[in-house]
Structure 1
């Protein structure tokens, strides 16, 4: 089964928009990161970024269609991102997810390392938690953090064990974040919210440390 030409063009166009928006923020250093949009549930099909592409540019060969095993469903010379299997795990574990985005930033890398010992980054009472669709007063969230296994199936399995519908993201230690949503708009909003929360917390830690008086 392959998607219609119209569905393919629409998905690729939406991925272009997200890719360029994130590239302007330098969220894809060294061709890192990957993006996907789900096209069908049964069988699972999704459009995903091809491996090794400069994400600051648009070309006719930026994306391909893969199945639930992260394998191309059509003849192509393109290779899916090495981490495409993680997208497949997200779509299987969180059926309501319609798009999944992965970026590398200094903020998410530092947070993942600082709080890896706790296996989660927890924050409470910050306004941008609402960007994750959580509207409770003084809400508290915990974003899971997994080890950065070099073996992708092992990494995907670890991610599948900790992600939940309630928190639309997972951190990989010294690697980056995967965030998802019902569609590309929501996934983008969730990712932007997570990145703000990480940067806010890091800045808060710096200011708190600077404000502590020295004892002579």
Structure 2
């Protein structure tokens, strides 16, 4: 691989570019949310409490699989509070990237659902690995906690109970979405957010997104 291609695919650069994009979508505003990439046995994660649209490549932390800091910014920044959950997804699911979004309709989708979010017969379901138009997409919902690190065990249990899901919703909070690499994670995130948006609009119309032939309640 030449130097230009190597730089283009550097996880630090990808995280910075995508966080700026996700900020414009309302997924990582107010310093919340973020993204992690796992590559060659190392995890790349942004710092905690920073404006994601202003991230620079030198702000990104590099961790080992146990969460130990291998390198990071020369500042008072702390590793993202999402890092423990990112690492758990990397380890338990073998994911290559995880996106944590505070998108408004991802949060609202948890308020119109019980223990799981369900939607079926929507074209964008086909964008989620392993699913087709006729399938029912199911995403587990876990309860929020005061501290992000406290979500790790319940998120891990949800991932184990729903091996076909590529996301975990956190009630009144947001969503964690992953993929085999950053490209698939981004595609999944775009499709999941579309489906959350659709479900919230369907609910307002009195339609059940979990039915193949929605009937007004």
TM-score (norm 2): 0.84
2:198 equivalent to 1:200: yes
Q: Which moved more, 1:10-19 or 1:187-196?
A: 10-19
CA drift at 1:153: 4.2
Distance 1:173 1:135, change over 3 A: closer
TM-score (norm 1): 0.84
CA drift at 1:135: 4.0
Q: Find the aligned partners of 1:206 and 1:171 in 2 and give their Cα distance.
A: 20
- Superposed, which structure 2 residues align to 1:134-213 within 5 Å? 134-163=130-159, 164-208=162-206
Aligned residues: 201
What are structure 1's unaligned runs of at least 5 residues? Answer: 1-5
Contact kept, 8 Å, 2:61 with 2:72, in 1: the verdict is: no
Match of 2:3 in 1: none
Secondary structure of 2:40's aligned partner = strand
Structure 1 residues 65-116: Cα deviation after superposition (integer angstroms, max 9, x where no partner): 0123333123654311112100011011101x1011101011011111221x
What are structure 2's unaligned runs of at least 5 residues? Answer: 1-5, 208-214
Structure 1 residues 105-142: Cα deviation after superposition (integer angstroms, max 9, x where no partner): 11011111221xx3110111111111102343511121
CA RMSD of aligned residues (A): 2.4
Q: Find the aligned partners of 1:135 and 1:149 in 2 and give their Cα distance.
A: 31
Q: Which moved more, 1:70-79 or 1:17-26?
A: 70-79
